[in-house]
Every structure is written in structure tokens, then in C-alpha cells.
Chain A
Amino acid sequence: MADEPIMNMMPRWKGGWGIQTIFEHRTERDLLLGERIANKGFGEEVNIIHLEGVYTWEKAIRLTAKLPYVINARREMPAALGGTQYDKGIGDLTLALPLKKYFNLDGRSGSWSFKPMLRVPLSGEDEYELYDNEWGTGLGLSYEFETFRWFFFMGTSGWIYHDNEPFESHSSLDVGYNFEALGSNGSILWETDFHYEDDGSETLLAGPAFYWNIDDLKHLRLEWKHDFHDRQGVLDHGNGDTFKLSIGWVY
């Protein structure tokens, strides 16, 4: 949720723009209440396409838009709570205005970011909804730097919704190793995310990611994250894995 197109990096240049598509596959194995498995074997499976875009006015000012489309989502609930339910269709739009302060040192470059965000409710009325369908406002702060060989990112963001949804925060810590091969470059990363919601839900998920610069225009990213700690403040699914495949084009 905290990631931004294109691959969190580009375009850094004035007048640059890009689009990115992400295919996300998520499976949750259990229905949790707190850390306790309330209903074992009641799973959830979700497939989403995220369409994202970015425009960089000045090198310090970007505008990003992220729109998810739920290809299909299916969750199993006890019969008394509706049984098996489905979701499909457009999700909520997220607009952000990342403001960046870059620094360039001898052998190290990076930025501090301040990111106001807006959530626009667009999701529909299915048997259940992956997205909240509520207006929300958020704020993100992050710091990142890169050397020839190493990449480091840490960031945190908070969201307040204008109706019933609880406050939520997302924090990330990413470390990467840069390599060169076949006349291009890439990174191998380890990413750790912590999600918290004011209803007592907490998820710590982490896993590897791989980024490859196909050429100046096309960029590829693969990632897998596993839930190492999951706690749901209200009855909800957890203990899962998330896979993402991203392709971005930048101009």
C-alpha cells in the first residue's frame, strides 16, 4: 500500500511520467479473532490488478494515482455469517502528492519524502468488499538512499477514514543489493511491512523482492511476502502469503 509507481524509484526527472500494472495474488489460510484461529480452514483467495500512474512536475513534486481492480475474490465464512462470499470489480482510488527533498553525495544519493494522500471511494456493493468504499486522508513520511551496491528505504504512513473504518498505519523497511548483468541492472531486496489498525489488528509481513531494469523504458518487479505475525481485532482472515508481479513503463 505504501509503494509508489514506478517501482518506488522513478521518474526522478522533471517532466517524467510512467504507468505500472501490478498483478497481486493473495491467499489467507485462517479466519482469525485476535491471534486465535477462530475457524481453521476458512480461507480467502484474492486476485487483483492494480493500475498506477505517476507524473513528475519538478524533481521534488510528483502526483501519483493508484486504482485497483478486483479480478475475483472469494472468502469462506461460517454459514451463520454468510458462507462463501465473492467480490469483483473496481476498488478505491488513491491519489498522492509525494514531495521529495533529494540529496546527492559522493557515492550516495537519496531523498526524504512527505506524502499527503487521498482515498476516493469507488468500490461497489458486492457480497463483501476488499476495499472500504470510504473517503480517507493519509500522510506518509519516508527516507531512502542508495549507493552503487546498496539500497535502503524506511517509511511510515497513517490513514484516517471519514466514516466507520478505523485508523490504520503502514510501516516499511526495505534493504536491497544492487547488481549489474547482461548490460543492465537490478536489485535483490528484503522487504518488511507492518500494518496496524486501531481495532487491534496487526500484521507483520516480510519477504524477498526482485527488481530488473529491462531497459530504460521497461521495468519488472517480483515480490513475495509471508505473514509472520497476524492478529485481527475483528473476525477476519489472516496467516497468508502475497505474491506480486509488476511491469512498469517510464518516459
Chain B
Amino acid sequence: MKTSWSCLAGLSLLVGTCFLHAAPKEYPEAKPEVRTKAATAILQKEKEIALLYVKGLCCPSCAIGVRSKLSRLKYVDKKRFKRGVDMNAETQLVTLALKTGQVIDPLRVEKEVDDAGYIAIEWYTFEDANLKAHPFPGQKP
């Protein structure tokens, strides 16, 4: 009886884990078209910002390190948003408030996001009424 309980529990954990890890890896809220629409809306509304797509950022508490690391960058305006960083776990978009006339250093931003446990995929600008995506250096083929 004791052994069967333990074996059953262990087997259930193993099978369940494999099943769940193999589950669909796309979620409606994270589809590229949803993110593109959200990114366009943010860039039209906010000025002096950098908008990043951080892959996997879907848990606000786990991602506190993203805010902690990025808010220390010298060109981030900590008076805006929450210490200069707004994170959206639904779209995985991170908005950095920039000081006037400043731009991001993509290499540094990518490293800070990596140290925080996530992957910086690209950042966006709005040019000629179109959203333009710029891959971070580590994402370029």
C-alpha cells in the first residue's frame, strides 16, 4: 500500500510535468498582432520612451528584477511610471521613461534583462506612421 501510494504520486508528477511542458506555447494575449497593436497605441500616446518586448514577462512579481535593473540605467527617468519602468504582463511589453533627448543602449538593456531572468527580443519605434521593430543584438541572425 505504502509503495503503491509513492509510486502513483511519483508517476503522476512525472507524466503531468511532461504533459504540461508540451502544452501549447502560444496564448491569445501574447500573439504578435496583439502586441503590435498595443505597442502602436503606447508609442502614439507616450513621448520620450523606449518600448521593449521582453519574452516570458508574464509574472509581475517574478519580473520585479526587470524594473530593478532597468531603473538604474542613467538615461531612465525614475520620476515617471513606477521608478521609470512600466511592465505589462499581458503583452510582455516594457516601457522605459527616458530623460529628455536620451536613447537606450541596446547592449546594456539586453544584458540587464538577461540578468533579470528574461529575454529582450526587440524594441519599437514609430516611423512614418508605422511601427518599426529593432532586434536586440543577441537576437540578430
Contacts and interface: CB of A to CB of B under 8 A. Distances in A.
Given A143-B17, A169-B6, A108 B64 contact: no
A107 B59 contact: no
B29 interface: yes
Interface SS, A side: strand
A185 interface: yes
Interface string B13-24: 100110011000
Size range of the chain B interface in the assembly: 35 or more
Given A105-B55, A147-B27, A12 B116 contact: yes
Interface stretch (A20-28, A124-132, A148-156, A239-247): A148-156
A185 B89 contact: yes
Interface in A102-141: 102-109
A143 B119 CA distance: 20
Given A145-B20, A147-B27, A156-B13, A107 B58 contact: yes
Contacts of A89: none
B138 interface: no
A104 B89 CA distance: 13
Q: Which residue, A7, A184, A216, has most C-beta atoms of chain B within 10 A?
A: A216
A13 B27 contact: no
A15 B26 CA distance: 31
A176 to B, nearest CB: 10
Contacts of A106: 25-27, 30, 55, 92
13 contacts: A9-B62, A10-B61, A10-B62, A10-B65, A12-B62, A12-B65, A13-B117, A106-B55, A148-B89, A152-B20, A154-B13, A154-B16, A216-B83
Interface of A: 7, 9-16, 59, 102-109, 143, 145-148, 151-152, 154-156, 169, 171, 173, 178, 180, 184-185, 194, 196, 200, 202, 211, 213, 216, 219, 250
Given A108-B56, A148-B30, 18 more contacts: A7-B61, A10-B61, A13-B66, A13-B69, A13-B117, A14-B116, A59-B115, A104-B56, A104-B118, A108-B27, A147-B58, A151-B59, A154-B17, A194-B9, A196-B2, A200-B2, A202-B2, A216-B82
